[in-house]
């Protein structure tokens, strides 16, 4: 029983290690430190977005606007940073939080379905981004890029730190704070949460603010990786972040799950692309692998869950 | 996503929604007509309706999936699959087997989605998201940008009877067929019942799993039909990145059209006939923006705002 519990909690990391071992057996290139660092660097934006998405999904909603906010913040950073680095960092973060606030108010106060609201917000953000910069470009200061991506002895310390800090903060907020418990509570049942004295619409709005903020953070990081701004760069992130969160063991209906599983899923998703690239497999196979992996994991988990409504569906 | 269900099913509000939507349609058409007199010609309006038909057919399947309380994110990818495979196999000749293969492919995709949702109890969002990823990968690996539509398919998609394009007639026929099925048959009522309250429908003797399975099968077939007409409309396969990410035109446009039409995500309210309004509002708006010389970015902003405002208005109506 105990082993089953441990496997249930850490299956995503077991899977990750299995994939890494198999990959390093197949191709010697995968054993190099630089490959590992590439995986870390490309995991950071997805991990940041998935943090916000994880909060939103735990509260029982979805956020599709993360890709639009990410794209918009890379564009704005690429416009402002050449004049003032500080404002170039601060303004996208603030904008992300404000856009998240708008999402949150519309969803909690006006009761617009989160799928529709954030889909609309994604279109608007992408449109504004394209209006400002219709082709990728702009200027990102090299000292900013160096600060984020500099490698000392082949180890990119800053991305590694960001990943660890995000993991610790995410897990801490979810598991050890009143706010985190409130997020789980409204995800499980918002009526009961309301009756037990939780300000449901406040928590719900806060969750979307976090999601907008982390999306903007991911955008700032990605603008350093690309050394430019691109309004459409985020188009895959909404679904990828939902995939990561669900693969990591969080239930789409909300109320159950954690962030450490999500990070494991993020690492798997970014590893797959690198591994397929190194072995020389057509990059489109990663899509098939991603889809199959998601479906298999969720199907296995659904077999394990005994529901009283099983027959009913 | 609190259940609203049948108890609030208020005919007056439904009528109010239809009135709001149709007056919105009339207003935007009139405004466009005042700005650009060319817009109001019958020829131009028919052209817009013709443009709308393909999305309209895809949205029919999406509507019944949403009515049952699910969602189908694989609509766009299934369309592009049928589009690419159809072109490859047809090669510009009138053959029936490739058409059947494409429809069978749609049926198979729908059946896998349905089996996953109904029997493995995978949430519809996840099931169809995974299917979308698998299909997108497969299209780009196996399908090549070659081949042509067959003359008959081309005729059905761009040909006209008198002044009316055949595709519009097909769209209207399919819609009426589906409305009849949804309103008058046991299957249709079962879909509404499950969308309203799956536990109640189960206890009243409806086989939930079978009905859910077939709803996804129907959606897959409609997507494949839309994909074939897309092939006929353009003549060559449209192998762009549209089937992929969230930017994919057809999946999200179909969902947006269904929601604008007044079918709601929690299921059981709305209907196939409403989706016609939704599709038309989206497309007419886009063609007006195109006519006024507004670029892609402006269209994205307008699409986002329109969807939010219309759904916000519906939610306000609920409070009345």
pLDDT tens for each residue of B99-120:
999 999 999 999 999 999 999 8
Domain regions of chain A by residue span: 44-302
Residue A175 Cα, gap to closest chain B Cα (Å): 24
The whole-number pLDDT of residue B285 equals 83
Tell me how far CA of residue A36 lies from CA of A32, A41, A271, A272, in angstroms.
7, 9, 8, 12
Residue B202 Cα, gap to closest chain A Cα (Å): 6
Residue of A nearest to B299 (CA): A127
**Structural element, H or E, at residue B97:** helix B96-118
Mean pLDDT of B253-280: 87
Mean pLDDT of chain B: 85
A residues 256..285 contacting B (CB < 8 A): 282, 284-285
Tell me how far CA of residue A172 lies from CA of A11, A191, A259, in angstroms.
21, 25, 9
Contact residues, chain B, for A120 at CB < 8 Å: 303-308
Q: Which residues contact B225 (CB under 8 A, 6 or more apart)?
A: B57, B82, B103, B106, B174
CB neighbour class for A305 (10 Å; exposed up to 12, middle 13-18, buried from 19): exposed
Q: Which residues contact A126 (CB under 8 A, 6 or more apart)?
A: A67, A68, A71, A72, A231, A232, A234, A235, B247, B297, B300
Q: What is the pLDDT of residues B183-202, one digit of tens each?
A: 999 999 999 999 999 999 99
Cβ contact A127–B118 (<8 Å)? no
pTM: predicted TM-score of the whole model, two decimal places? 0.90
The whole-number pLDDT of residue A134 equals 83
The whole-number pLDDT of residue B2 equals 41
Residue B308, token pair as written in the block = 């939010």
Band of the pLDDT at B304, cuts 50, 70, 90?
A: confident
The size of the A-B interface in CB pairs under 8 A is 177
The residues of chain A scoring below 50 in pLDDT are: 308-313
- When CB atoms are compared, the residue of A64, A129, A285 closest to B246 is A64
Strand-pairing partners, residue A156, are: A151
Tell me how far CA of residue B183 lies from CA of A140, B42, B180, B268, B271, in angstroms.
58, 32, 5, 12, 9
Residues in chain B: 320
pLDDT at B5 over 60: no
Domain regions of chain B by residue span: 52-280
Band of the pLDDT at B144, cuts 50, 70, 90?
A: low
- Euclidean distance between CA atoms A149 and A155, whole angstroms: 9
pLDDT at B7 over 50: no
Angle between helical axes of B296-319 and B11-35 (0-180°, round to 10): 150
Residue B80 Cα, gap to closest chain A Cα (Å): 15
Residue of B nearest to A131 (CA): B297
Residue B170 Cα, gap to closest chain A Cα (Å): 29
Contact residues, chain A, for B140 at CB < 8 Å: 282, 284, 287
Is the ipTM above a cut-off of 0.90? no
Contact residues, chain B, for A311 at CB < 8 Å: 202
Q: Specify the CATH architecture of the domain A44-302.
A: Orthogonal Bundle (1.10)
> By C-alpha distance, which of A268, A237, A303, A249 is closest to A67?
A237
The whole-number pLDDT of residue A1 equals 64
What percent of chain B shows pLDDT beyond 90? 38
Contact residues, chain A, for B259 at CB < 8 Å: 113, 116
Contact residues, chain B, for A121 at CB < 8 Å: 304, 308
Residue A140 burial (CB count, 10 A): 23
Q: Which residue has the higher pLDDT, B9 or A190?
A: A190
Cβ contact B121–A284 (<8 Å)? no
- Euclidean distance between CA atoms B22 and B284, whole angstroms: 12
Q: What is the pLDDT of residues B223-244, one digit of tens each?
A: 999 999 998 988 877 765 444 4
């Amino acid at each position: 029983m105990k082993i089953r519990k441990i496997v249930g909690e850490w299956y995503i990391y077991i899977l990750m290690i299995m994939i890494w071992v198999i990959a390093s057996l197949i191709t010697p290139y995968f054993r190099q430190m630089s490959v590992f660092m590439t995986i870390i660097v490309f995991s950071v934006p997805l991990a940041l977005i998935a943090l916000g998405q994880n909060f939103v999904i735990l509260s029982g909603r979805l956020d599709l606007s993360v890709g639009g906010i990410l794209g918009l913040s890379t564009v704005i950073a690429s416009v402002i940073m050449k004049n003032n680095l500080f404002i170039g960092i601060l303004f996208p973060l603030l904008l992300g939080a404000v856009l998240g606030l708008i999402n949150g108010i519309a969803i909690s106060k006006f009761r617009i379905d989160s799928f529709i609201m954030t889909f609309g917000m994604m279109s608007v953000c992408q449109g504004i981004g394209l209006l400002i910069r219709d082709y990728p470009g702009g200027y990102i200061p090299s000292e900013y890029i160096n600060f984020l991506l500099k490698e000392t002895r082949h180890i990119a310390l800053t991305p590694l730190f960001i990943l660890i800090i995000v993991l610790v903060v995410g897990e801490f907020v979810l598991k050890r704070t009143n706010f985190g418990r409130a997020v789980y509570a409204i995800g499980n049942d918002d009526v009961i949460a309301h009756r037990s004295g939780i300000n449901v619409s406040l928590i719900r709005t806060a969750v979307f603010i976090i999601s907008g903020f982390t999306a903007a953070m991911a955008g700032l990081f990605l603008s350093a990786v690309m050394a430019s701004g691109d309004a459409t760069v985020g188009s895959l992130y909404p679904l990828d972040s939902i995939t990561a969160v669900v693969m990591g063991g969080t239930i789409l209906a909300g109320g159950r799950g954690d962030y450490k599983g999500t990070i494991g899923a993020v690492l798997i998703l970014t590893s797959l692309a690198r591994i397929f690239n190194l072995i020389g497999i057509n990059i489109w196979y990663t899509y098939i692998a991603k889809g199959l992996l998601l479906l298999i994991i969720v199907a296995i988990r659904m077999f394990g869950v005994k529901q009283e409504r099983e027959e009913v569906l | 996503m609190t259940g609203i269900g049948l108890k609030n099913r208020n005919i007056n509000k439904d009528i109010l929604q239809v009135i709001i939507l149709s007056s919105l349609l009339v207003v935007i058409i009139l405004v466009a007509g005042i700005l650009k007199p060319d817009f109001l010609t019958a020829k131009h309006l028919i052209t817009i309706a013709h443009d709308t038909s393909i999305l309209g057919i895809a949205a029919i399947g999406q509507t019944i999936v949403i009515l049952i309380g699910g969602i189908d994110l694989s609509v766009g990818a299934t369309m592009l699959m049928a589009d690419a495979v159809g072109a490859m196999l047809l090669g510009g000749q009138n053959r029936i087997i490739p058409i059947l293969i494409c429809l069978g492919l749609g049926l198979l995709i729908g059946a896998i989605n349905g089996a996953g949702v109904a029997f493995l109890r995978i949430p519809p969002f996840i099931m169809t998201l995974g299917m979308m990823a698998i299909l997108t990968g497969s299209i780009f690996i196996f399908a090549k940008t070659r081949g042509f539509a067959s003359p008959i398919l081309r005729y059905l998609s761009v040909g006209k009877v008198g002044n009316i394009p055949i595709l519009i007639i097909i769209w209207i026929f399919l819609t009426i067929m589906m409305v009849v099925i949804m309103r008058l048959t046991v299957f249709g009522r079962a879909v509404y019942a499950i969308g309203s309250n799956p536990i109640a429908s189960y206890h009243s003797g409806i086989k939930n799993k079978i009905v859910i399975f077939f709803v996804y099968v129907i959606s897959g077939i409609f997507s494949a039909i839309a994909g074939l007409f897309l092939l006929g409309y353009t003549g060559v396969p449209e192998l762009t990145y549209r089937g992929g990410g969230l930017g994919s035109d057809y999946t999200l446009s179909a969902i947006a059209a269904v929601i604008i039409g007044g079918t709601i995500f929690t299921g059981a309210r709305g209907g196939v006939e409403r989706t016609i309004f939704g599709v038309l509002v989206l497309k007419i708006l886009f063609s007006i923006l195109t006519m006024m010389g507004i670029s892609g970015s402006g269209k994205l902003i307008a699409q986002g705002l329109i969807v939010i405002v219309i759904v916000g208005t519906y939610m306000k109506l609920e409070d009345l």
